[in-house]
């Protein structure tokens, strides 16, 4: 089983957080900051899977997330990966016994909600706590990784949200799973990420790779941490600078980071593929390697990655 990267695709979460209209959600959250009446309100565990519309968004996501985390499943009927992921989320929500709530949103029926979150593809999963998006991932990932992502989320929020334990005292956060022994090397890297020390996290993952060059989990995690560090410093103005000077390779790489941080995935990929077509020798190798590293931030079956790989092969040969 592949080990999920810290906080499950940290780079994607960072990118998605940049795309979400946090100010709008914050305003709604502040308006709903009064706690639910304990006698007249609905208990957090009354429902574990709910369908949400624009009309019920405030009550079912913002208000409810003041008590327990709400995990939003943004899906569409035509989406094949959604049909794989949604049943997993529903099963785990029921097993969680109200320690968290699954809110299902059909992006075709509720396009304004999808637009508010800046959703570019489905499935997209967003965790909301206290009225704010706190974590996310995109694409259909295996059930063990979904479970671990939920467990990590609940553990991180437990001190802030007592309702997690109150609602699910008799259930493990994401259903019954076997405890897996933790590799202390990965634990050290994850702790560094939690501190916001991406330099230390990169060093920790690189140390694993130096000892085990074939460790794909460490390689993928290193790519994600590298991007997360760059995303923090991404400058939206880099896009305009790169557009004005297509020959500047550094500008193209910086602009791709800025576009990915805004969750404009196709634009980032297309930019670097165009740069591959224009460059030669070391510059071309540099752009190609950069792009391949970005591919590693996404699930292997992400259609955008598959399309970009085909276009990259065409650009190279």
Lowest mean pLDDT among 70-74, 96-100, 171-175: 171-175
Question: What is the spatial distance between Cα 181 and Cα 194, in angstroms, rounded to a whole number?
Answer: 20
Identify whether the C-beta of residue 287 lies closer than 8 Å to the C-beta of residue 279.
yes
Answer yes or no: is pLDDT of 44 > 80: no
What was the pLDDT predicted at 265?
Answer: 84
% of residues, the chain, pLDDT over 90: 40
CA angle 257, 261, 265 (to 5 degrees): 80
CA angle 188, 18, 162 (to 5 degrees): 60
What was the pLDDT predicted at 126?
Answer: 95
Helix, strand or coil for residue 229?
helix
Answer yes or no: is pLDDT of 137 > 60: yes
Answer yes or no: is pLDDT of 30 > 80: no
The question of whether 167 is a catalytic residue gets the answer: no
Q: Cis bond leading into 123, ω under 30°?
A: yes
Q: Where are the beta strands (DSSP E) in the chain?
A: 49-51, 70-75, 101-106, 124-129, 132-138
What was the pLDDT predicted at 223?
Answer: 82
pLDDT tens-digit series, residues 257-291: 988 877 788 999 999 999 999 999 999 999 999 99
pLDDT tens-digit series, residues 229-266: 887 777 889 999 999 999 999 999 999 998 887 778 89
Q: Pick the catalytic residue: 71, 74, 82, 315? A: 82
The question of whether 249 is a catalytic residue gets the answer: no
Q: Pick the catalytic residue: 29, 74, 79, 85? A: 79
Question: What is the spatial distance between Cα 6 and Cα 12, in angstroms, rounded to a whole number?
Answer: 11
Question: What's the chain's average pLDDT?
Answer: 79
Identify whether the C-beta of residue 51 lies closer than 8 Å to the C-beta of residue 104.
yes
Higher pLDDT, 32 or 228: 228
Identify whether the C-beta of residue 9 lies closer than 8 Å to the C-beta of residue 297.
yes
Answer yes or no: is pLDDT of 315 > 90: yes
- Of 101, 141, 122, 112, nearest in space to 24 by CA: 112
- 166 band by pLDDT with thresholds 50, 70 and 90: low
Helix, strand or coil for residue 82?
helix
Answer yes or no: is pLDDT of 172 > 80: no
Contacts of 135 (CB under 8 A, 6+ apart): 7, 8, 13, 126, 127, 149, 153
What was the pLDDT predicted at 36?
Answer: 37
Answer yes or no: is pLDDT of 22 > 50: no
- Of 5, 4, 16, nearest in space to 225 by CA: 5
- 216 band by pLDDT with thresholds 50, 70 and 90: confident
Distances (CA, A) of 165 to 11, 36, 169, 305: 29, 17, 5, 39
DSSP H or E stretch at residue 260:
helix 249-261
> Which domains does the chain show, CATH number per domain?
10-167 (3.40.30.10), 184-233 (no CATH), 237-316 (1.25.40)
What percent of the chain is helix, strand and coil (3-state, nearest 5)?
A: 55, 10, 35
Lowest mean pLDDT among 12-21, 70-79, 136-145, 280-289: 12-21
List the 132-138 sheet strands across, edge first. 49-51, 101-106, 70-75, 124-129, 132-138
Answer yes or no: is pLDDT of 14 > 60: no
Answer yes or no: is pLDDT of 43 > 80: no
């Amino acid at each position: 089983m592949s080990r999920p990267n810290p906080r499950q695709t940290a780079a994607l979460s960072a990118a998605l957080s940049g795309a979400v209209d946090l100010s709008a959600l914050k305003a709604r959250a502040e308006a709903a900051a009064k706690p639910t009446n304990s006698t007249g309100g609905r208990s957090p565990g009354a429902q574990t899977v709910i369908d949400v519309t624009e009309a019920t968004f405030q009550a079912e996501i913002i208000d409810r997330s003041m008590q327990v985390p709400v995990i939003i499943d943004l899906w569409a009927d035509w989406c094949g990966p959604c049909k794989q992921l949604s049943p997993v989320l529903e099963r785990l929500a029921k097993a969680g016994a109200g320690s968290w709530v699954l809110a299902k949103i059909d992006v075709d029926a509720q396009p304004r909600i999808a637009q508010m979150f800046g959703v570019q593809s489905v499935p997209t999963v967003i965790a909301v706590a206290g009225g704010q998006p706190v974590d996310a991932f995109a694409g259909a990932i295996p059930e063990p990784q979904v479970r671990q992502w939920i467990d990590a989320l609940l553990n991180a929020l437990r001190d802030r949200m007592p309702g997690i334990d109150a609602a699910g005292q008799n259930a493990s956060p994401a259903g019954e799973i076997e405890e897996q022994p933790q590799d202390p090397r990965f634990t050290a890297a994850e702790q560094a990420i939690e501190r916001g020390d991406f330099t230390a996290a990169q060093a920790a993952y690189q140390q694993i790779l130096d000892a085990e060059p074939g460790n794909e989990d460490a390689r993928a995690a290193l790519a994600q941490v590298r991007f997360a560090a760059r995303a923090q410093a991404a400058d939206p103005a880099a896009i305009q600078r790169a557009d004005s000077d297509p020959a500047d390779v550094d500008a193209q790489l910086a602009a791709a980071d800025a576009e990915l941080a805004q969750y404009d995935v196709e634009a980032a990929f297309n930019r670097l593929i165009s740069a591959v077509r224009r460059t030669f020798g070391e510059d071309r190798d540099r752009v190609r390697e950069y792009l391949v590293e970005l591919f590693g931030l996404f699930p292997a079956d992400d259609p955008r990655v598959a399309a970009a790989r085909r276009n990259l092969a065409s650009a190279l040969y």
